Chain A
Amino acid sequence: MVSNKKRLYWTLQIVGWLSYALLQIIVFSLEKEIPIRRVIFFIVEALICLGVTHFFRYFLNRFKWLGLSVPKMIPRVLVSITLLGFVIYFLRVPVSIVLKVVNVQRLAFDTTQILGFGFFYVFLLFLWSLFYFTYHYIERYNKSLKYEASMIEIELNNLKNQLNPHFIFNALNSIRALVDENPLKSKQAINQLSNILRNSLTFEKRGLTKFDDEMKIVKDYLGLESIRFEERLKTEIDIHPGSSSFMVPPFMIQTMVENGIKHGISKLTEGGIIQIKTLVSDNRLKVQIRNSGHLLNGARKTKTGGMGIRNTKHRLKLLYGEKASFKIVDENNNFVLTEIVIPQT
């Protein structure tokens, strides 16, 4: 990607300035026969322009002018290209003298000569800048469009995942039965379910959520699943006290726990254990979710399972770049380990 852009830059620079030289040569030779030193002069002139614009580009990147707002940037660019235009002129003066393309030496320092050629180069640099900045703005616009599109896609997928109908209807069914058996517990379950639903409806508006809030959702979720699975679901939660200072992507831990139940516990006749453990070190939060079951029995290779994992990876990458990590592995003692590492924000 980077080398591609670099190659494109150099191709455009070389082709552009050589065409400029070629154009000069052709225009000159239309009038009269062109001496070889004239040809060399035009080529050297093009090379000077290439060098100066390359320096200008280095300068732009060094001081991050591309990141400035348009009203701040325009005057700066105008001033610099005016200066650089005259720099080009004075750089080409010794060349023209050596190559004897000016007949009289003092003509090179004539005011009209300086102003005329100087502004001509300023105009060339102006065209160059126009092209350079337009290209960058278009590219940045494309990038932001792409980013937006992928965010929307992820949001949609998450919404679909969060409002997992299988979970909701099973929970409602259990609660219905619980109304007769244990009215108090059924009321509690309704609260847990409404907390989850409310959060899943508003989460898209929030980029990150407090770790403690996420854990509340996870606990509500586990509470509801315990009603459904009863003694078949055992949970162990071991939270490092430092975890509270972290922000996490909403519903990410919940999704991983739900995956563990859906692909692990619910497939086991005898049920199993879900274990949530967090560790804090080097300003990083490590969340480990273990569930009874196996990864390699093909259960996780179904469409939805695969998508959940892909989504999580994608979300982490968009939010944290390379600073976050995700892995899911089979542990030898009949457990599947899902591990997310999130940096402090």
Chain B
Amino acid sequence: MRALIVDDERLARKELMKLLEDHPGIEVVGEAMNADEAIQMTSDLNPDLLFLDIQMPGKTGFQLLEELDSVPIVVFTTAYDEFALKAFEVSALDYLLKPIQPERLSEAVTKIMDKERSKAIAARNPDKKLGLNDQVFVKDGDRCWFVSLANVRMFESDGNYIKVYFDTNRPMIHKSLNALDEKLDERSFFRASRKHIINLSWVEGIEQWFNGGLMVKLKGGDKVEVSRRQAAKFKDMMSL
């Protein structure tokens, strides 16, 4: 697995590199000193794994993740940060406390390897469109999630924000629906109207609606109207 280490302190990066020498399954492909460097390196190197410090000058680790389209597996590293620790507890994200204990790192690495095997790395999209196997990072106030796109039922635009529907949560992300639409794989996600993008694998039923539109029922009970303009396209896609 190819990993990128993000930490503003040289010694902290060095220490982690040293600890990772015992884990041949993980190859460190780069080191970034701050969030902007990390964003650049993520798009250049396309790592499978990020070791990410939270408190960095400029942008924090959380802000960095919010700027990434597709988020690799992330292991947070932090010395002590009350606010971050709270976020971890809420969302059960994986994290390592500095100074990092070798046993704790081994545990994290084992967990990552299992996760990656089940996902099959090969499924990652070469054309960089976001498919069902990709995960995104969503932060809303104190809470944050890594959400697999397979679990997202739909996206709903709300002013300058997008509501992300998964499980029972509807956190908001600061993005436009058009920008998101361009990044999503059109075989998995469909732009139902100006306001909605739906996950096709969650569609349960389709009904005729007024003015030649359609009403799509999603698993879990949400109903979304497909505009007349999109309805023909939708019928095309859903038929053989």
Contacts and interface: CB of A to CB of B under 8 A. Distances in A.
A171 B157 CA distance: 45
B98 to A, nearest CB: 4
Contact of B79 (A170, A267, A268): A170
Given A166-B80, A170-B79, A229-B9, A267 B99 contact: no
A80 B97 CA distance: 72
Interface string B87-119: 000000000011110000000000000000000
A266 interface: yes
B11 interface: yes
Nearest to A304: B82
Contacts of B98: 169-170, 172-173
Interface residues of B, number: 20
B230 interface: no
B79 A166 contact: yes
A181 interface: yes
A236 interface: no
A148 interface: no
A17 to B, nearest CB: 61
Interface stretch (B12-20, B190-198, B202-210, B215-223): B12-20
A165 interface: yes
Contact of A174 (B8, B9, B57): B9
Contacts, number: 59
Contacts of A180: 18
A269 interface: yes
Given A269-B34, A269-B57, A269-B58, A176 B15 contact: yes
Contacts of A176: 15, 99
Contact of B11 (A169, A228, A267, A271): A228
Given A266-B55, A269-B58, A227 B80 contact: no
Interface string A243-279: 0000000000000000000000011110100000000
B9 A268 contact: no
Contacts of A268: 57
B55 A178 contact: no
A331 interface: no
A172 B79 CA distance: 9
A180 B8 CA distance: 20
B77 to A, nearest CB: 9
A227 B14 CA distance: 13
Interface of B: 8-12, 14-15, 18, 33-34, 55, 57-58, 79-81, 97-100
Given A169-B80, A228-B9, 8 more contacts: A170-B12, A172-B98, A173-B98, A176-B99, A177-B15, A178-B11, A229-B9, A269-B8
Interface of A: 165-166, 168-170, 172-174, 176-178, 180-181, 227-230, 266-269, 271
